[in-house]
Chain A
Amino acid sequence: MDCELFRDDMMDVLYGEETPVAAHRFRAHEAECAGCREEAAAFRAMRRELQVWDAPAPPRVLARPPARRRFAVPLAAAAALLVGLLGALAAGGSDVTFAGGRFSLRLGRDAELRMLLAEQEMRHRREVAALRADLARTRLPAATVAGPAATVDETALLATVRALIRESERRQSVALGASLRDLEDRSEARRQYDLARVSAGLSYLDGKAGLEAARTSELMGQVLRASQQK
């Protein structure tokens, strides 16, 4: 059964883009192939998990297109630049004053910064107040954790917290198990490799020793024959 032939159909069915022919073809294969049936079900379940990943909203759109180029008289451009500079300085909280026949300039963005900080402070205060209100609604009595004084909401909250802890522990356990299995596999592979190298080394030494022994025997044989001939 070549499941590769049905991959495209699986994708079409998964995303609702199948033709009736493709749907019938895949359903028939799915009915016979446990692997594809299980995989398609896993993909369907996983798609919901993928949706928890939200994208943050973009900043407010400033869609004014870049100004087209224009030819400008240099003097007018310089004047526009000067006006723009002064305006920017003023907008940035700077002061340009003329006193005693002289211009003086004080640069600063204090006011803007103070405003931004104040807005941030207000936002943080609102968030903290909301969290405090949330905690106050779910606060447990000091005497017991899950005794008779606990309300239905508090009991449900405890059950939720315990379920979350169990789920977290399960995930950690699965991840740890996978890591340990991976480590075990790698250790075993390393051990086999080292054993193979040692074995190859010993074989080489055996072979070498054997060759030398054979060479020695041959030489001894030649020496004996020579001595016998004398």
Chain B
Amino acid sequence: MRSDEELVEAFQSGDESAFETLVRRWDRKIHGVVYRVVGSDEEARDLSQEAFFKAYRGLAGFKKEARFSSWLYQIALNVCRDRLRRLRHRSHVSLDEMDDSADPRLQTRGPTALDLVENRERARVVAAAMAELPPEQREVIILKEYQGLTFPEIAEVTGVPISTVKTRMYRGLGQLRLRLERQGVRGNAAAAVPAP
């Protein structure tokens, strides 16, 4: 499997199919981060496309000073920020946005319908708490918790020092904790995510 950098080089040499490979590789991740930043699946579809379109237009001039993934995340976050500025920041994700009528898990064996409804409610609470965070804290938490980026990678994507990333992370987690506890949600300490 070719690396991102090899695909970029191939594209810059005229192989347009290399871009298609990059899109397939990154589509789900970019959609995931955009969805969590803006809080809407419908908008995430539009904005993800916009991000990939901008990447396509800029890829010929991509200078490889940063990782391709960092550059792509930067584009996605900028697209989100522009949209949120125009929308004056959506403060919550409505239940309608989290429609589960097409959720295939409801049609298969496994967790009961009660478990799924319970999880849906918890997810809604988390999404609402995240939506109330300042944008810079929300971005850092999303990139860390859901995209699995390291602190140096997040610093590269957001263009701030690593110490600033950690400060935003700490404050964001603190705010989240307060909001979740106010909703009566406490993490399950017995099943806490251990540090790797």
Contacts and interface: CB of A to CB of B under 8 A. Distances in A.
Contacts of B194: 44
Interface residues of B, number: 65
Counting chain A residues whose Cβ lies within 8 A of the other chain, the interface size class is 35 or more
A35 interface: no
Interface stretch (A53-61, A72-80, A183-191): A53-61
B87 interface: no
A52 B183 contact: no
A42 B187 contact: yes
B7 to A, nearest CB: 12
A172 B121 CA distance: 13
Contacts of A48: 187-188, 191-193
Contacts of A8: 163, 166-167
Given A11-B151, A160-B114, A171-B184, A57 B122 contact: no
A180 B24 CA distance: 51
B27 A41 contact: no
A46 B177 contact: yes
Given A45-B189, A160-B114, A50 B145 contact: yes
Contacts of A66: 53, 56
Contacts of B32: 55
Given A45-B189, A46-B173, A47-B145, A54 B195 contact: no
A65 B56 contact: yes
Interface string B21-49: 10110011001100110000100110010
Given A61-B24, A130-B106, A45 B130 contact: no
Interface string A157-172: 0001100100000111
A126 B107 contact: yes
Contacts of A20: none
A209 B196 CA distance: 75
Interface string A119-143: 0000100110011001000000000
A136 to B, nearest CB: 13
A11 B163 CA distance: 10
A225 interface: no
Nearest to B112: A134
A66 B60 CA distance: 14
B80 interface: no
15 contacts: A12-B166, A41-B189, A42-B177, A44-B189, A49-B180, A52-B123, A53-B130, A55-B31, A55-B146, A61-B23, A61-B27, A130-B106, A130-B108, A174-B182, A174-B183
Interface in A6-55: 7-8, 10-18, 39, 41-55
A64 B163 CA distance: 40
B77 interface: no
Q: Which of A12, A48, A170, A173 has most B Cβ within 10 Å?
A: A48
B187 A47 contact: yes
A146 interface: no
Contacts of B52: 63
B73 interface: no
A43 B36 contact: no
A175 interface: yes
